[in-house]
């Protein structure tokens, strides 16, 4: 699994962040060492920017070590709606909806993890979003 997909999955599945939106864009020109990441979460409510960044860095502990650079854009739902008034939050997967996990491939053997079933997202010019990961 490439680093962009690992970042997306790690952030999406985090029960503390419980994000309403995660976008991961490869900004490196293809080498996969620099990403722009947008996270919208009510867990950021009342936190100053440095504490939001620390929270995301903690979630991405292993992935952060493999990066050359990361740009984080971190918003609460109301803050993001001000910037994007037409945006409607999708169902949040950590609230009982497992729709961020792609359906299992094949027969009845469900012994793999949820991460085994996630298709590789497009990371060159397209953002990894809830829509691309659900395909």
Range of the domain at 64: 3-134
Q: Are 42 and 77 in contact (CB under 8 A)?
A: yes
User: Which pTM does this prediction carry?
Assistant: 0.67
Measured between alpha carbons, how far is 41 from 19 in angstroms, rounded to an integer?
A: 4
> Per residue in 73-84, pLDDT tens?
999 999 999 999
Q: How far apart are CA 115 and CA 80, in angstroms?
A: 28
pLDDT in the model for residue 25 = 92
For 4-19, what is each residue's pLDDT tens digit?
Answer: 899 999 999 999 999 9
Q: Is pLDDT of 133 > 60?
A: no
The 10s digit of each residue's pLDDT in 56-68 is 999 998 888 888 8
Residue pair 16/119 in contact by the 8 Å Cβ criterion: no
CATH for 38: 3.30.300.90
Q: How many domains are there within the chain?
A: 1
């Amino acid at each position: 699994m490439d680093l962009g997909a690992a970042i997306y999955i790690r952030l999406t599945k985090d029960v503390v962040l419980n994000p309403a939106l995660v976008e991961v864009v490869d900004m490196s020109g293809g080498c996969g060492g620099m990403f722009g990441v947008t996270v919208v979460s009510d867990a950021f409510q009342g936190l100053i920017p440095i504490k939001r960044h620390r929270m995301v860095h903690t979630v991405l502990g292993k992935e952060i070590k493999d990066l050359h650079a990361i740009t984080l854009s971190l918003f609460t739902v109301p803050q993001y709606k001000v910037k994007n008034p037409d945006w409607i939050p999708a169902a949040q997967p950590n609230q009982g909806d497992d729709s961020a996990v792609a359906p299992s491939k094949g027969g009845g053997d469900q012994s793999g993890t949820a991460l085994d079933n996630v298709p590789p997202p497009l990371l060159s010019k397209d953002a990894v979003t809830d829509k691309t990961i659900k395909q």
